[in-house]
Amino acid sequence: MTVFLGLGIAGIVLLALSLIFDGILEGLFGGVLDGLFDGLLSLPVIAGFLSMFGFGGAIMLGATGLGAGAATGVGVAAGVATGWIAWKFSRALMRDQTDATPRGTDLVGTAGSVVTAIPADGYGEVLLRLGGQPVKLAAKSTVPVARGAEIWVEASLSSTSVAVRPVER
């Protein structure tokens, strides 16, 4: 039973270390195994197998008197099931993609309103929407634009300023 418990604890320690060192087993072979095992040699999968092998074997040995052979069989079955679940779960998490981060150039062509009046060839402030969130930026225009006027963004000058023109209706 001590051996099974030791393996279970080693698996838990390895799982904790996998938070820091994940991917190291795949990298040890210099890319030779790339795609061959498709993540089956990752630390979370090995840690899941090892811990469930140990704890499953210890539970089987402690709950029944069938011996080390039966405990090993149950431990291997529990370890394989847990390793497979960890592999599937990690693959699902790795495929989860997010949308691209909005950039200042995404503002070109959007409408907004003037918050602080813009003098001719000077700077004022405009309120725009970037990624669904309101953004207040410095704005430059070739013509004066009054506060509250609707504007169009012509160009992104920097990460905090834009060139605008008033909307004519």
pLDDT tens-digit map of 119-162 = 998 999 999 988 788 999 999 999 999 999 999 999 999 888 99
Based on C-alpha coordinates, what's the Rg of the chain?
30
Q: What is the pLDDT of residue 99?
A: 72
- Read off the amino acid at residue 66: L
Looking up tokens 């072979």, which residue turns up?
A: 29
Q: What percent of the chain has pLDDT over 90?
A: 51
Q: Which helix (H) or strand (E) holds 99?
A: none
Cα 22–chain centre separation = 15
